[in-house]
A and B are shown apart, each in its own frame.
Chain A
Amino acid sequence: MEVNEQIAIDHGLKKEEYQKICDLLKRTPNLTELGIFSAMWNEHCSYKSSRLHLKKLPTSGEKVIQGPGENAGVIDIDDGDAIVFKIESHNHPSFIEPYQGAATGVGGIMRDVFTMGARPIANLNSIHFGSPQNKKTKNLLRGVVHGIGGYGNCMGVPTIAGQTSFDSSYNGNILVNAMTLGLVKKDKIFYSKAAGLNKPVIYVGSKTGRDGIHGASMASASFDEKIEEKKPTVQVGDPFTEKLLLEACLELMAGDSIIAIQDMGAAGLTSSSIEMASKGNLGIEIDLNKVPCRESKMTPYEIMLSESQERMLIVLENGKEELAKKIFDKWNLDFAVIGKTTNSKNIELFFDNQKVANIPINTLVENSPMYDRKWKKTKLPKKNKIKKEDLKKLKVKDVLKKILSHPNICSKEWIWQQYDHTVMGDTIQKPGGDSGVVRVHGTKKAVAATVDSSAVYCWAHPLSGGKQIVCESWRNLISVGATPIAITNCLNFGSPENDVNMGEFVECVQGIGEASKHLQFPVVSGNVSFYNQTKEVGIKPTPSIGGVGLIKDYTKMISMDFKELNNLVLLIGKTEGHIDQSLFARTILDEKNGPPPEINLFNEKNNGETMLQLIEKNFVKSAHDVSIGGLITAISKMCIKGNKGIELNKPKSLISEIEYLFSEDQGRYIIEIHPNNLDKVVNILDENSVHYEKLGKIVQNHMTINPKTNITIDELKSYNTNWLTNYMSA
């Protein structure tokens, strides 16, 4: 087939991009070559709309071993140990085929982590669905949860935390972001940079089939009514093979045979081979007849673009082929020497003794398009004028019931009970806490991880929203007693070709950058997912932030459940009564305008660091940060988890009771302390100029908010626990 402009456009390339390819090659590409360009130049692989802005993120720090640009980021957790972690989206495939889409998302991110030599020790996920009333939501939720569980459970990696939200902006485009943490010795990290000439290029893992061809291109386009026809572009996962691949790779990695290793993820053999060669400034030669294929008569085009899962590409030291083959034979996995590194600086493909493609690698990587897209700034919305009389009419108990049973607040146990969260025997904080925590096997240390997003805030004002999520991630780590180290981000947005969506992206990234710089909480890995929209309508901007922190002594870990009667409960941070964009405003007042809560990075840092001091001195018996739903929602959860009540003091505050209880001011934590330690705690808070209030004391099984409002813990539980189970079984 002769390649022309129309065929290029059908491959998702723009007219100008096709012209650029012809200019770079000084000829017309053949179909295989065109396929390779389209795979490398699509948004998903090339970051052509985002690169310019991502460069501004802070990516280095004292604890950063590897920042963005590798399969995953790596941070130092002392004693020669390191944590490899990353978050990645699998949104488009999950909407088309929820089980396989979500499953392969989990499989893909775990591969990114063990490619670097790390054994995965924890999975997390951030999943977002359309309105519960939307007729597709229930099946999508069920499929995604089954898919995540199906893959992670089989791999034997615990799923320790996550986030689920519902919003009508995801009706036509759900979000599935999967995150994995792996543990590796600092001196045994593997990279994807090839080195040396005539080194064997090895293919291992599953056979290549026709599944997932052009998956990455599909993920770089908007959905329309023909989306169901895209089903064949979704890959099919096989967690059993991945488990074997994990064990085989780690076995091979224990020796010194590997020069470079790269998993075949998006754009399969194409991107893995090109990335390894490009990083090593080398050429690569592949004989496609040697690639193990699942189906007969696969063409070079199909072999190069297949996104069959559970495959790896390795550049080996010469003479190590036999040793490596033995290991992969033991695990019943395919092993084939399919090519070698060269000094041509081209990718050269052979099939049936003919050269079927020959492309200079720099044209695919360095010369890939980069766009400075037009973008629109979002002004800070004006504050709503909420009438005090309207608030006075409301009964606290009624409001609390609605908030606690809201789909975005209610217990997600129905979901995480389907994930094996205890395998590997090191999970010391299960899902449902502020962060999941796993011990570093065989040591006193533990690693905490959390994943967060705040689409509503980001939609109202992207700059504040971007800052807020980083702060929330930081707070969630501190609330379990972990020192925050670094983050990974998954940036889910609408079309970059739309200036409003692009503006949301640019300003969210700016906000993320400002907050992570101030908190010294650098971004070490991530991924961008654009075109999350159906027809012209984009999703609410939804950057997901995955945060990781270290607990030096795991016996000092904190959880949110109230521990002991008569202990005192303190609020750290100031309550100003910011109601706009709160769950209360949206749910109870039906008010969707106004600015999100203000972020004060100085206070955020100061409050967080002071919290860590209090925890270090063993003063904190339980802790929880205040986020969506406000103060009383946070207290309710601590009561529910601890099966204990609280008697709240009358607040010394000028704002109304409703504002006090439900506002979403930032930088706040609730802590439980022993009454004997009150003076010492107050001293530390005063020394650090941290604002605090005495909220009340812990009592048995009821929550007294004011003399007229008394709620039993069983009532609180019933508000909070039933919504999701009822919804899913209805």
Chain B
Amino acid sequence: MKSSVITFPGSNCDRDMHVALKKFGFNNKMVWHDDNELPKSDLVVLPGGFSYGDYLRCGSMASKSKIMQSVINFANSGGLVLGICNGFQILVETGLVPGVLLRNKYLEFICKNVFIKVDNKNNPYFKNLDKEILEFHIAHNEGNYFCTSDQLKQIEDNNQIAIYYSNKSGKIEDQFNPNGSLNNIAGIFNKEKNVLGMMPHPERMIDKSLSGEDGSLFFKNLINNIK
């Protein structure tokens, strides 16, 4: 399976993502933001970091990078595009997924483990996953998902909410919401479910010596679904 990770100026989880994809069997290529063409890929990942220093607005400048036109075309033709953290912020800026990501409610960067509840398995990312609740890791300053009530209705109607912040047993309540995100939303799909944006970093949970191993489950499942 072929994957591509886009490096923007200021990306800093690009290597981590490369390591994770390779570990679970992807043949991964690093792609420079200023390139025109995407290599042939089964999956494109927009990694975490601070593209363009998060200046202007997180993800906004990166969404106008040269490579992004190819990424958008790839997504529109049904290709799998996964945006993690800053990658999610870039995705909302391109309009591939609806909504915006605001500053965290308590105005502080948060780095910690969280539990997420997988809401929708009818998609290439979570299909066949044998767990509903995963322990992932977050590290962000702007992960407070927001959209208009019309948009919310639409994404709910279309089952576009991918994952929610929850507790260990899957309860989705305000007290388990780390950043003030609307309805505890941690990740959403586009309408067709081939594009996924999410704040948590599965690539930081791929080894029992690290914060946990639920990221391994995610990647193993993903590559099996693509095969």
Listed in ascending order, the chain A residues whose CB lies under 8 Å from chain B are: 146, 149-150, 153-156, 238-241, 243-244, 330-332, 416-428, 430, 439, 554-555, 557
- Report yes or no: B210 in contact with A156, Cβ–Cβ below 8 A: no
Q: How far is the CA of A426 from the CA of B206 in the complex (A)?
A: 10
State whether the Cβ of B83 lies closer than 8 Å to any Cβ in chain A.
no
Known pairs A156-B12, A430-B211 / 4 extra A-B pairs, C-beta < 8 Å: A244-B9, A422-B210, A422-B211, A423-B139
A331 to B204, CA, bound (A): 27
Contact B13 A417 (CB under 8 A): no
B207 — which chain A residues lie within 8 A by C-beta? 425
Minimum C-beta distance from A715 to chain B (A): 21
The 6 closest A-B pairs by CB, nearest first: A156-B12, A240-B53, A425-B16, A154-B50, A420-B139, A428-B209
- Knowing A153-B109, A417-B110, A439-B209, the reply to whether A422 touches B50 (Cβ < 8 A) is no
Pairwise interchain contact B53-A153, C-beta atoms closer than 8 A: no
A424-B211 contact in complex given A238-B53, A244-B10, A417-B111, C-beta closer than 8 Å: no
Q: Which of B6-35 contact A (CB under 8 A)?
A: 9-10, 12-13, 15-16, 19-20, 34
Give the shortest distance, in Å, between A675 (CB) and chain B (any CB): 26
Q: Is the CB of B13 within 8 A of A239?
A: no
Q: Within the complex, what minimum Cβ distance (angstroms) separates B95 from chain A?
A: 24
Note all chain B residues with C-beta closer than 8 A to A424: 15-16
In the complex where A155-B12, A156-B12, A244-B9 touch, is A422 in contact with B53 (Cβ < 8 A)?
no
B residues in contact with A155, CB < 8 Å? 12
Residue of A239, A330, A418 near B50 (CB, 8 A) is A239
Which A-chain residue is minimally distant from B110 (CB atoms)?
A417
- Does B112 sit within 8 A of A, measured CB to CB? yes
**Cβ of A419: which chain B residues have Cβ within 8 Å of it?**
109, 111
- Could you list 14 A-B pairs, sorted by A, with CB under 8 Å? A149-B109, A150-B109, A153-B139, A154-B50, A239-B50, A240-B54, A243-B50, A244-B9, A244-B10, A418-B110, A420-B111, A425-B15, A425-B19, A425-B207
Task: State the Cβ distance, B152 to closest chain A Cβ, in Å.
Answer: 29
- B65 CB, min distance to chain A CBs, angstroms: 12
A150 to B54, CA, bound (A): 11
Which of B9, B13, B49, B210 sits near A427, CB closer than 8 Å? B210
A240 near B52 with CB under 8 A, answer yes
- Residues of chain B within 8 A (CB-CB) of A239 are 50, 53
Tell me the bound Cα distance from A417 to B139 in angstroms: 9
Q: Of all chain A residues, which has the CB nearest B108? A: A418
Chain B interface (Cβ < 8 Å from any Cβ of A): 9-10, 12-13, 15-16, 19-20, 34, 48-50, 52-55, 108-112, 137, 139, 141, 201, 203-204, 206-207, 209-211
Using CB atoms, name the residue of chain A closest to B215: A425
What is the minimal beta-carbon distance from A99 to any residue of chain B, in angstroms? 13
Chain B residues with CB under 8 Å of A557's CB are 209
Q: Which A-chain residue is minimally distant from B16 (CB atoms)?
A: A425
Q: Smallest distance from the beta carbon of B114 to chain A beta carbons, Å?
A: 12
**Distance in angstroms between the alpha carbons of A238 and B50 in the assembled complex:** 12
Min CB–CB distance A123 → chain B (angstroms): 13
Q: How far is the CA of A555 from the CA of B207 in the complex (A)?
A: 12
B10's contact among A146, A240, A418, by CB below 8 Å, is which? A240
Say yes or no: B209 contacts A417, CB within 8 Å.
no
CB distance from A354 to the nearest CB of B (A): 38
Which A residues touch B54, using CB under 8 A?
154, 240
B111 to A, closest residue via Cβ: A420
Please determine whether B55 and A240 come into contact, CB atoms closer than 8 angstroms.
Answer: yes
B-chain residues with CB within 8 Å of residue A154 when the two chains form the complex: 10, 12, 50, 53-54
Distance, CA A554 to CA B208, complexed state (A): 12
Chain B residues positioned under 8 Å from A426 (CB to CB): 210
Q: In the bound complex, what is the Cα–Cα distance between A240 and B111 (angstroms)?
A: 20
Closest to A414 in B: B108
CA distance A439 to B19 in the complex (A): 14
| Interface pair A418/B209, CB less than 8 Å apart | no
Residue in A150, A332, A439 whose beta carbon sits within 8 Å of that of B9 in the complex: A332
With A240-B52, A417-B110, A418-B111 as contacts: A555 and B209 at CB distance below 8 Å: yes
In the bound assembly, the distance between CA atoms of A239 and B55 in angstroms comes to 11
Query: Please, which residue of chain B has its CB at the minimum distance from the CB of A333?
Result: B9
Given known pairs A153-B139, A332-B9, A418-B109, the reply for A423 and B16 (CB within 8 Å) is yes
- Contact (Cβ within 8 A) A243 B12: yes
Would B10 and A423 count as touching, CB distance under 8 A?
no
In the assembly, what is the distance between CA of A244 and CA of B204, in Å? 23
Q: How far is the CA of A555 from the CA of B211 in the complex (A)?
A: 14
- Name which residue of chain B comes closest to A154, CB basis: B50
Task: Give chain A residues whose Cβ lies under 8 Å from the Cβ of B109.
Answer: 149-150, 153, 418-420
Given A153-B139, A154-B53, A238-B53, residue A423 in contact with residue B12 (CB < 8 A): yes
- The residue of chain B having its C-beta at the shortest distance from the C-beta of A442 within the complex is B19
Across-interface contacts of B15 in A (CB, < 8 A):
424-425
Contact A422 B10 (CB under 8 A): no
Closest Cβ of chain A to B23, distance in Å, is: 10
